[in-house]
């Protein structure tokens, strides 16, 4: 559902007690133009960073823009395709903690008609439904049978559910609605009404960022739908095997754009909920790391024949047995390497044209990923065999001889943190080691990566209370 150009005058989020009692509520007023403010700040920060901001720059700028926004943990920048991005404020879950208040959240809307759209439905067998909350004069009696409401004057649409109460009020008029087959009759008296909280994400506010005449521009309305068609970012994930340690083995369709993009991953498959409710997700912006003298990773990568394949989301090089990585007393076997363009991680808000992930795996399936940033410079002969194979077609893998060790920078100082896979199912418990120093490739070599896949980078995730370490041990 697209909101179009109707916007509410204001939102009020009521933070109720965890027990659902009526003992006073903390109220957070949010202007309905707050989404536009975030969009405007995003564009401003992007142009401060660069005269020609890329999509990655826009994502970084968005992270800065929401830092001071109300409910900053519940904002999303959704890639709608075609250089169109939508800023969205999502309804907080009932068990979220904001400030010192925890419990259910309520949404209070003005008397004007406003439609609150939901995000894309998941591929679930449970049918979706909506409930109409009517704006009625005080003292009016409204009858609700199942999902049907009588005496509707003007309405606000929210996602239906059967659990977790949420407060919804329209100016000074309210009604209490019950879902199900039983008949409920309620007299409207006060300024508070209770309905079931949405199970799916509910988008409270939207604004749009589009590229007009080559320049990013914010707008105070929702975006038109720009779902991507078939293309590099909209292919089925490979069924995967033991070497496909970074991508989903599910047959569920996912993408980097549109209705199946990063913000929808958590609802596309019941085993992917970590993508939306995880607390240690990747990638992140690395900034102000804590310097610690920790053991350097011992990289023992060998030359060997690799299988280069196109898995529908990136080009992946599966390593032959024999290469290993030792860190924190554990030995990991190099499984594969793949790339993202532009980079998924940023360092102090700066992205790179390409980021390559060397995925290493223990015998009990623990993962350690060595991330390498790629910047423009001289031609890199060690990378050329892989570059030459980047045009590989789906279902037609090719072989290439790769010198894995020579593909890494000489100085292996790393940033380290606990994170996740950056693609569905977004599993956590991944040991991340992002190399501080990049490797140089020529402009032509970098263009080969971009020609294979571009825009296959997950947006930055919140760091939260995670510790990001900079290894200060001198490297040999």
User: What are the residue boundaries of the structural domains of the chain, listed by start?
Assistant: 10-196, 258-471
Q: Which of 151-155, 177-181, 368-372 has the highest mean pLDDT?
A: 368-372
Mean pLDDT of 90-106: 50
Mean pLDDT of 228-253: 42
pLDDT digits (tens, 9 = 90+) for 421-444: 999 999 999 999 999 999 999 999
In this prediction, residue 201 carries a pLDDT of 62
CA proximity to 322, closest of 304, 298, 297, 296:
304
Question: Is domain 258-471 in CATH 3.10.200.10, yes or no?
Answer: yes
Q: Is the pLDDT of residue 6 over 70?
A: no
For residue 425, is the peptide bond before it cis, meaning its omega torsion is within 30 degrees of 0? yes
The answer for 364, left when phi > 0, alpha when psi is -120 to 50, beta otherwise, is alpha
Q: Is the pLDDT of residue 173 over 50?
A: no
In this prediction, residue 335 carries a pLDDT of 95
Q: Which residue has the higher pLDDT, 230 or 200?
A: 200
pLDDT digits (tens, 9 = 90+) for 278-309: 999 999 999 999 999 988 889 999 999 999 99
Whole-model pTM: value is 0.52
In this prediction, residue 475 carries a pLDDT of 62
Cα–Cα dist 1/7, whole Å: 14
pLDDT digits (tens, 9 = 90+) for 16-54: 433 344 444 445 567 667 888 899 899 988 888 888 888
- Partners of 431 in the beta sheet? 368, 418
Q: Is the pLDDT of residue 66 over 80?
A: yes
> Over the range 82-105, which residues count as b (16 or more CB within 10 Å of their CB) and which as e?
eebbbbbbbbbbbebebeebebbb
Residues with a known catalytic role: 313
Q: Which residue has the higher pLDDT, 250 or 391?
A: 391
Q: Are 453 and 232 in contact (CB under 8 A)?
A: yes
Share of the chain above pLDDT 70, in %: 64
Q: Is the pLDDT of residue 154 over 50?
A: no
In this prediction, residue 121 carries a pLDDT of 35
Q: Which residue has the higher pLDDT, 12 or 315?
A: 315
In this prediction, residue 48 carries a pLDDT of 85
Mean pLDDT of 210-229: 72
pLDDT classification of 166: cutoffs 50, 70, 90:
very low
CA proximity to 91, closest of 195, 208, 209:
195
Mean pLDDT of 163-191: 36
Cα–Cα dist 266/273, whole Å: 4
In this prediction, residue 473 carries a pLDDT of 80
Mean pLDDT score of the chain, rounded to an integer?
A: 73
In this prediction, residue 157 carries a pLDDT of 32
């Amino acid at each position: 559902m697209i909101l179009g150009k109707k916007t509410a005058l204001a939102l009020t989020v009521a933070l109720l007690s965890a027990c659902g009692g009526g003992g006073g509520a903390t109220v957070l007023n949010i202007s309905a133009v707050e989404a536009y403010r975030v969009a405007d700040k995003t564009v401003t920060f992007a142009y401060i960073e660069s005269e020609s901001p890329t999509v990655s720059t826009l994502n970084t700028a968005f992270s800065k823009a929401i830092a001071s926004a109300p409910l900053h943990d519940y904002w999303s920048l959704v890639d709608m395709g075609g250089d169109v991005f939508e800023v969205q404020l999502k309804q907080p879950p009932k068990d979220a903690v904001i400030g010192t208040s925890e419990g259910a959240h309520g949404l209070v809307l003005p008397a004007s008609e406003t439609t609150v759209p939901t995000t894309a439905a998941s591929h679930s067998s449970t049918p979706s439904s909506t409930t109409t909350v009517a704006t009625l004069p005080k003292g009016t009696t409204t009858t609700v049978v199942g999902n049907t409401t009588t005496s509707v004057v003007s309405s606000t649409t929210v996602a239906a559910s059967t659990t977790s109460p949420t407060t919804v009020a329209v100016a000074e008029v309210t009604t209490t609605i019950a879902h199900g087959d039983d008949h409920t009759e309620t007299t409207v008296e006060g300024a508070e009404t209770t309905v079931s909280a949405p199970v799916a994400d509910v988008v409270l506010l939207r604004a749009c960022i589009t590229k007009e005449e080559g320049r990013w521009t914010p707008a105070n309305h929702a975006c038109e739908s720009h779902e991507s068609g078939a293309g590099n970012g909209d292919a089925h994930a490979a069924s995967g095997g033991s070497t496909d340690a970074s991508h989903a083995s599910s047959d569920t369709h996912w993408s980097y754009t549109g209705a199946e993009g990063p913000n929808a991953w958590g609802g596309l498959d019941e085993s992917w909920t970590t993508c939306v409710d995880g607390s240690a997700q990747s990638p992140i912006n690395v900034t102000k790391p804590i310097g610690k003298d920790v053991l350097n990773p011992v990289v023992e990568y060998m030359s060997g024949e690799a299988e280069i394949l196109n898995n529908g989301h990136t080009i992946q090089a599966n390593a032959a047995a024999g290469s290993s990585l030792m860190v924190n007393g554990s030995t990991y076997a190099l499984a594969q390497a793949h790339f993202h363009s532009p980079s998924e991680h940023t360092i102090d808000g700066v992205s790179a044209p390409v980021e390559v992930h060397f995925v290493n795996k223990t015998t009990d399936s623990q993962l350690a990923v060595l991330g390498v940033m790629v910047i423009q410079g001289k031609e890199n002969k060690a990378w050329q065999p892989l570059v030459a194979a980047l045009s590989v077609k789906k279902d037609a893998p090719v072989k290439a001889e790769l010198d894995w060790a020579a593909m890494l920078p000489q100085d292996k100082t790393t940033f380290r943190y606990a994170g996740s896979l950056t693609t569905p199912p977004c599993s956590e418990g991944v040991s991340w080691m992002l190399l501080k120093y990049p490797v140089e490739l020529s402009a032509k070599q970098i263009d080969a990566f971009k020609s294979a896949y571009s825009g296959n980078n997950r947006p930055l995730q919140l760091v939260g209370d995670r510790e990001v370490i900079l290894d200060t041990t001198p490297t040999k």
